[in-house]
Amino acid sequence: MLTARTIDRIVTLALDEDAPWGDLTSETLIPADAVATADLVAREDGVFAGGEVFAAAFRLTDPAIEVGLHVADGGRFIAGRRLATVTGPARGVLTAERIGLNFAQRMSGIATLTARYVDAIAGTGARIVDTRKTTPLLRAFERHAVAAGGGHNHRFSLSDAVMAKDNHLGVLTATGADLTDALREAIARLPHTAHVEVEVDRVDQIEAVVAAGIGTIMLDNFTVDQLREGVATVAGRARIEASGGVSLDTVRQIAETGVDVISVGALTHSARALDLGLDLRIDLGR
C-alpha cells in the first residue's frame, strides 16, 4: 500500500499546506549557504515506522538534502537512540523538519501501540488487525505503521471485500426475507470471487449467517463468555473476528476464547504520537 507514488503525493500536500508560499522564517534568518546536520532522536522507547515518509519530507523540499536511516521500520528502540541523520542546506532542513517529524511521530506511535497489543496476545493463535477508522487520506501511512508494529491489515477499502454490518443486514431483510437465503442470493450476485464477512451482535444470529457459507463472521461487542459460546457455535465453519470492547486490559482474554482475528480501531484512531526530536547542528560555511 505504501508506494513511492503515495508517499510523494501525500507528503507534497503536507509540505504545501505548511509552506504554501515558502518558509518565511528560514528564508529571512538563515544564510543561503548554511549547511545543517540533524539527528532524529527518540525521547522514549518505541517501534519505528515511517522512515521513507520522513525522508521524503526533506527530499521533496530540497533534493540536495540527504537522509540516512539507522533503524528500519518495525525496529524497536530505546530512548536516546538515533533513528536517522539528515544533512544538507539548512533552510531546507528547517522547512521540512515539522512535516517529517509529524509523520514519523504519528506512524511510530501507531507502530508502538500495535506492538503492545501484539505482545499481549503472544502464543494464543489470534492476530491483531486494524480497521477503517483511519485519518482521511492517511490510511496507507497508518496501515503501514500497523504492519510495522506486527499487526495485520484488514480490508483496505470498501472495494476490497464484502463486509455486511448491522445496517446492511437491516436493509437486506427489511422485507422479511430469511437472512440465510438473502445472504446466499446476494453473494451469488457478486461479479467475482470476494471474501465475505458478516457482523452479528447476538449469539442467536450466528447459525443463520454461518449457514450462508460466509468466510468470516464478526462477533461485535460480545462478552468473553459470549465469544466462547460463539466460537463453539461456529465450530470451525468460518473464520471468527472479535470486535468492540477491545483494550490492552481485555485483549488477552478475548484472544484466549479461540477467535482468529481481533480488530482494534484504537490502533489508528487513538494512538498517541511518539516523542521524537530533531537535534540540529549548523555549519555556516561549506
Superfamily holding 123-269: Aldolase class I (3.20.20.70)
**DSSP codes, the chain:** ---HHHHHHHHHHHHHHH-BTB-HHHHHHS-TT-EEEEEEEESS-EE---HHHHHHHHHHH-TT-EEEESS-TT-EE-TT-EEEEEEEEHHHHHHHHHHHHHHHHHHHHHHHHHHHHHHHTTTSS-EEE--S---TT-HHHHHHHHHHTT-B---SSTTT-EEE-HHHHHHHTTT---HHHHHHHHHHT-SS---EEEEESSGGGHHHHHTTT-SEEEEET--HHHHHHHHHHHTTSSEEEEESS--TTTHHHHHTTT-SEEE-THHHHSPPPP-EEEEEEEES--
Contact status, residue 278 vs residue 101, Cβ threshold 8 Å: yes
The reply to whether 131 sits in an annotated binding site is yes
204 is catalytic: no
246 labelled as ligand-binding? no
CB 61 within 8 A of CB 18: no
Distances (CA, A) of 256 to 52, 119, 161, 198, 263: 36, 14, 27, 22, 15
Residue 171: exposed, middle, or buried by beta-carbon count in 10 A (0-12, 13-18, 19+)? Answer: exposed
Is 199 an annotated catalytic residue? Answer: yes
Active site residue 62: no
Based on the residue annotation, tell me whether 18 is a catalytic residue of this protein: no
Q: Is 266 annotated as a binding residue?
A: yes
Task: Give domain limits for the chain.
Answer: 4-118+272-283, 123-269
Q: Is 62 annotated as a binding residue?
A: no
Active-site pick, 197, 199, 241, 260: 199
Q: Which of 220, 229, 256, 275 is catalytic?
A: 220
Q: Which of 76, 81, 82, 133 is catalytic?
A: 133
Looking at CATH, the fold of the domain delimited by 4-118+272-283 is given as Aldehyde Oxidoreductase; domain 3 (3.90.1170)
Domains 4-118+272-283 and 123-269 equal at CATH topology level: no
Catalytic residue flag (residue 39): no
Report the predicted TM-score, pTM, of the whole model to 2 decimal places. Answer: 0.94
The annotation status of 98 as a binding-site residue, yes or no, is yes
List the chain pLDDT tens, one digit each, 286 residues.
799 999 999 999 999 999 999 999 999 999 999 999 999 999 999 999 999 999 999 999 999 999 999 999 999 999 999 999 999 999 999 999 999 999 999 999 999 999 999 999 999 999 999 999 999 999 999 999 999 999 999 988 988 888 988 888 888 888 787 889 988 888 888 877 778 999 999 999 999 999 999 999 999 999 999 999 999 999 999 999 999 989 999 999 999 999 999 999 999 999 999 999 999 987 655 4
> Does the annotation list 132 as a binding residue?
yes
Q: Which of 98, 127, 184, 228 is catalytic?
A: 98
Q: Say which amino acid occupies 136.
A: P
Report the pLDDT value the prediction gives residue 160, as an integer from 0 to 100: 86
Residue 113 gets the label, from left (phi > 0), alpha (psi -120 to 50) or beta, of: alpha
Residue 270 marked in a binding site: no
Catalytic-labelled residue, pool 165, 184, 228, 252: 165
